[in-house]
Amino acid sequence: MQTVRFHDRVEAGRLLAQKLGKYANQSGVLVLALPRGGVPVASQVAGALNVPLDVFVVRKLGVPGNEELAMGAIATGGIRVLSGEVVDSMGIPDGIIAEVEAREQRELERRERTYRRGLPSPDVQGRTIIVVDDGIATGSTMLAAVAALRQLKAGRIVVAAPTVAAAAFSEIKKTTDEIVAVIVPEDFQGVGQWYDDFSQTTDDEVCQILREHGTLAGA
Protein backbone atom coordinates (compact mmCIF):
# COMPACT_ATOMS: atom_id res chain seq x y z
CA MET A 1 0.00 0.00 0.00
CA GLN A 2 1.39 3.37 -1.07
CA THR A 3 1.23 5.78 1.87
CA VAL A 4 3.53 8.56 0.61
CA ARG A 5 1.83 11.90 0.02
CA PHE A 6 3.36 15.21 -0.93
CA HIS A 7 2.63 18.44 0.89
CA ASP A 8 2.90 20.42 -2.34
CA ARG A 9 4.78 20.53 -5.64
CA VAL A 10 7.88 22.02 -4.01
CA GLU A 11 8.27 19.09 -1.62
CA ALA A 12 7.47 16.66 -4.43
CA GLY A 13 10.19 18.24 -6.57
CA ARG A 14 12.77 17.94 -3.80
CA LEU A 15 12.01 14.24 -3.34
CA LEU A 16 12.10 13.65 -7.08
CA ALA A 17 15.46 15.42 -7.37
CA GLN A 18 16.95 12.95 -4.90
CA LYS A 19 16.28 10.16 -7.40
CA LEU A 20 18.01 12.02 -10.22
CA GLY A 21 21.31 12.74 -8.50
CA LYS A 22 23.44 11.05 -11.17
CA TYR A 23 22.58 13.90 -13.55
CA ALA A 24 23.87 16.64 -11.21
CA ASN A 25 26.37 19.14 -12.61
CA GLN A 26 26.46 17.41 -15.99
CA SER A 27 26.94 19.57 -19.04
CA GLY A 28 24.41 18.83 -21.75
CA VAL A 29 21.60 18.09 -19.27
CA LEU A 30 18.46 20.21 -19.58
CA VAL A 31 15.34 20.00 -17.40
CA LEU A 32 12.15 20.69 -19.35
CA ALA A 33 8.94 21.28 -17.42
CA LEU A 34 5.46 20.62 -18.80
CA PRO A 35 3.51 23.75 -17.83
CA ARG A 36 1.90 24.63 -15.74
CA GLY A 37 1.95 22.16 -12.85
CA GLY A 38 5.26 20.62 -13.82
CA VAL A 39 7.13 23.91 -13.48
CA PRO A 40 7.40 24.21 -9.66
CA VAL A 41 8.39 20.52 -9.50
CA ALA A 42 11.01 20.95 -12.23
CA SER A 43 12.33 24.09 -10.54
CA GLN A 44 13.37 22.02 -7.53
CA VAL A 45 14.91 19.34 -9.76
CA ALA A 46 16.92 21.81 -11.86
CA GLY A 47 18.08 23.69 -8.77
CA ALA A 48 19.21 20.56 -6.96
CA LEU A 49 21.01 19.20 -10.04
CA ASN A 50 22.52 22.58 -10.93
CA VAL A 51 21.35 22.34 -14.56
CA PRO A 52 19.26 24.70 -16.73
CA LEU A 53 15.47 24.82 -16.63
CA ASP A 54 13.09 25.58 -19.48
CA VAL A 55 9.52 24.78 -20.43
CA PHE A 56 8.22 22.46 -23.12
CA VAL A 57 4.67 23.27 -24.10
CA VAL A 58 2.63 20.26 -25.20
CA ARG A 59 -1.06 20.38 -26.03
CA LYS A 60 -2.90 17.11 -26.30
CA LEU A 61 -5.34 16.74 -29.19
CA GLY A 62 -8.25 15.08 -27.43
CA VAL A 63 -10.93 13.11 -29.23
CA PRO A 64 -14.12 15.25 -29.26
CA GLY A 65 -16.50 13.89 -26.63
CA ASN A 66 -13.69 11.86 -25.06
CA GLU A 67 -11.02 14.50 -24.52
CA GLU A 68 -8.95 12.34 -22.17
CA LEU A 69 -8.18 10.06 -25.12
CA ALA A 70 -5.40 11.57 -27.20
CA MET A 71 -5.54 11.34 -30.99
CA GLY A 72 -2.30 13.29 -31.14
CA ALA A 73 -0.50 16.32 -29.81
CA ILE A 74 1.30 19.48 -30.80
CA ALA A 75 4.40 20.76 -29.05
CA THR A 76 7.02 23.47 -28.82
CA GLY A 77 9.11 23.67 -31.98
CA GLY A 78 6.25 23.21 -34.46
CA ILE A 79 5.98 19.48 -33.74
CA ARG A 80 2.78 17.60 -34.58
CA VAL A 81 2.25 13.98 -33.59
CA LEU A 82 -0.82 12.02 -34.69
CA SER A 83 -1.90 8.59 -33.51
CA GLY A 84 -2.93 6.85 -36.71
CA GLU A 85 -4.28 3.97 -34.65
CA VAL A 86 -6.74 6.17 -32.72
CA VAL A 87 -7.70 8.25 -35.76
CA ASP A 88 -8.35 5.18 -37.93
CA SER A 89 -10.08 3.07 -35.30
CA MET A 90 -12.50 5.88 -34.42
CA GLY A 91 -12.94 7.13 -37.97
CA ILE A 92 -12.06 10.73 -37.06
CA PRO A 93 -12.30 12.91 -40.18
CA ASP A 94 -9.54 15.33 -41.19
CA GLY A 95 -11.82 18.31 -40.60
CA ILE A 96 -12.35 17.43 -36.93
CA ILE A 97 -8.62 16.90 -36.42
CA ALA A 98 -7.91 20.29 -37.99
CA GLU A 99 -10.54 21.98 -35.80
CA VAL A 100 -9.13 20.53 -32.58
CA GLU A 101 -5.57 21.28 -33.66
CA ALA A 102 -6.39 24.91 -34.46
CA ARG A 103 -7.93 25.41 -31.02
CA GLU A 104 -4.99 23.83 -29.20
CA GLN A 105 -2.51 25.70 -31.41
CA ARG A 106 -3.99 28.99 -30.22
CA GLU A 107 -3.47 27.98 -26.58
CA LEU A 108 0.04 26.69 -27.30
CA GLU A 109 0.96 30.00 -28.96
CA ARG A 110 -0.55 31.95 -26.04
CA ARG A 111 1.58 29.99 -23.58
CA GLU A 112 4.67 30.33 -25.75
CA ARG A 113 4.21 34.11 -25.84
CA THR A 114 3.63 34.22 -22.09
CA TYR A 115 6.53 31.98 -21.09
CA ARG A 116 9.10 32.84 -23.79
CA ARG A 117 8.53 36.56 -24.43
CA GLY A 118 10.07 36.17 -27.88
CA LEU A 119 13.00 34.03 -26.76
CA PRO A 120 13.78 31.00 -28.94
CA SER A 121 12.68 27.48 -28.06
CA PRO A 122 15.27 25.40 -26.20
CA ASP A 123 17.76 23.50 -28.34
CA VAL A 124 17.38 19.85 -27.35
CA GLN A 125 19.39 18.21 -30.13
CA GLY A 126 21.83 15.67 -28.73
CA ARG A 127 21.20 16.74 -25.12
CA THR A 128 20.06 14.69 -22.15
CA ILE A 129 16.53 15.91 -21.47
CA ILE A 130 14.79 15.38 -18.13
CA VAL A 131 11.15 16.12 -18.87
CA VAL A 132 9.14 16.77 -15.71
CA ASP A 133 5.47 16.93 -14.78
CA ASP A 134 3.74 17.05 -11.38
CA GLY A 135 2.20 13.62 -11.95
CA ILE A 136 1.19 11.26 -14.72
CA ALA A 137 -2.24 9.65 -14.85
CA THR A 138 -2.97 8.29 -18.35
CA GLY A 139 0.44 9.15 -19.77
CA SER A 140 -0.92 10.52 -23.05
CA THR A 141 0.52 14.02 -22.69
CA MET A 142 3.92 12.74 -21.60
CA LEU A 143 4.01 10.19 -24.43
CA ALA A 144 3.32 13.04 -26.83
CA ALA A 145 6.13 15.07 -25.26
CA VAL A 146 8.55 12.16 -25.68
CA ALA A 147 7.51 11.69 -29.31
CA ALA A 148 8.00 15.40 -29.97
CA LEU A 149 11.44 15.40 -28.33
CA ARG A 150 12.42 12.42 -30.48
CA GLN A 151 11.44 14.41 -33.59
CA LEU A 152 13.59 17.28 -32.33
CA LYS A 153 16.53 14.82 -32.06
CA ALA A 154 16.99 14.93 -28.30
CA GLY A 155 19.75 12.63 -27.06
CA ARG A 156 18.74 10.74 -23.92
CA ILE A 157 15.17 11.34 -22.71
CA VAL A 158 14.39 10.86 -19.02
CA VAL A 159 10.75 11.16 -17.91
CA ALA A 160 10.40 12.23 -14.27
CA ALA A 161 7.37 12.85 -12.07
CA PRO A 162 6.67 12.54 -8.34
CA THR A 163 3.74 10.17 -8.89
CA VAL A 164 2.97 8.01 -11.91
CA ALA A 165 0.08 5.57 -12.30
CA ALA A 166 1.43 2.03 -12.58
CA ALA A 167 -0.16 1.44 -16.00
CA ALA A 168 1.23 4.71 -17.37
CA PHE A 169 4.66 3.92 -15.93
CA SER A 170 4.78 0.64 -17.86
CA GLU A 171 3.63 2.30 -21.08
CA ILE A 172 6.08 5.21 -20.91
CA LYS A 173 8.96 2.90 -20.01
CA LYS A 174 8.65 1.32 -23.47
CA THR A 175 9.17 4.60 -25.31
CA THR A 176 11.74 6.51 -23.27
CA ASP A 177 15.32 5.91 -22.12
CA GLU A 178 14.46 6.13 -18.42
CA ILE A 179 11.46 6.91 -16.24
CA VAL A 180 11.85 8.05 -12.63
CA ALA A 181 9.13 8.45 -10.00
CA VAL A 182 8.88 8.73 -6.23
CA ILE A 183 5.73 6.61 -6.03
CA VAL A 184 4.03 4.37 -8.61
CA PRO A 185 0.59 3.60 -7.18
CA GLU A 186 -1.60 0.81 -8.53
CA ASP A 187 -4.69 2.56 -7.18
CA PHE A 188 -4.61 5.88 -9.04
CA GLN A 189 -7.72 8.03 -9.39
CA GLY A 190 -5.87 11.24 -10.20
CA VAL A 191 -2.67 13.16 -9.61
CA GLY A 192 -4.27 15.43 -7.02
CA GLN A 193 -4.98 12.57 -4.62
CA TRP A 194 -1.25 12.36 -3.83
CA TYR A 195 -0.93 16.03 -2.82
CA ASP A 196 -2.19 17.90 0.23
CA ASP A 197 -1.98 21.16 -1.74
CA PHE A 198 -2.73 20.72 -5.45
CA SER A 199 -3.83 24.27 -6.17
CA GLN A 200 -3.47 25.38 -9.77
CA THR A 201 -0.15 26.87 -10.86
CA THR A 202 -0.71 30.23 -12.57
CA ASP A 203 1.00 31.72 -15.61
CA ASP A 204 2.48 34.40 -13.33
CA GLU A 205 4.03 31.73 -11.09
CA VAL A 206 5.50 29.98 -14.13
CA CYS A 207 7.09 33.21 -15.35
CA GLN A 208 8.44 34.03 -11.89
CA ILE A 209 10.11 30.61 -11.63
CA LEU A 210 11.62 30.99 -15.12
CA ARG A 211 12.99 34.41 -14.15
CA GLU A 212 14.53 32.95 -10.98
CA HIS A 213 16.35 30.37 -13.11
CA GLY A 214 17.51 32.99 -15.59
CA THR A 215 15.45 31.41 -18.37
CA LEU A 216 13.26 34.46 -18.78
CA ALA A 217 14.63 38.00 -18.82
CA GLY A 218 13.69 40.46 -16.13
CA ALA A 219 14.93 38.62 -13.06
Q: What is the pLDDT of residues 50-109, one digit of tens each?
A: 999 999 999 989 888 887 778 888 888 788 888 888 889 999 999 999 999 999 999 999
Q: Say how far residue 2 (Cα) sits from the centre of its chain.
A: 23
pTM: 0.89
Mean pLDDT, residues 184-210: 94
Q: Enumerate domains of the chain plus CATH numbers.
A: 9-59+124-212 (3.40.50.2020), 60-115 (3.30.1310)
Mean pLDDT, residues 23-34: 96
Q: What percent of the chain has pLDDT over 90?
A: 69
Picking from 28, 17, 97, the residue whose alpha carbon sits closest to that of residue 60 is: 97
Neighbours of 116 (CB within 10 A): 19
Beta strand 29-33 with 178-183 is unpaired
Taking CA atoms, 58 is separated from 13, 89, 108, 187, in Å, by 20, 24, 7, 26
3-state secondary structure (DSSP) of residue 122: coil
Beta strand 79-82 with 128-132 is unpaired
**What's residue 219's pLDDT?**
40
Lowest mean pLDDT among 37-46, 53-62, 112-121, 186-195: 112-121
Average pLDDT score, the chain: 91
**What's residue 197's pLDDT?**
97
pLDDT at 217 over 60: no
**What's residue 20's pLDDT?**
98
Write phi, then psi, for 69 (nearest 5 degrees). -85, 125
Contact, 105 vs 77, CB < 8 A? no
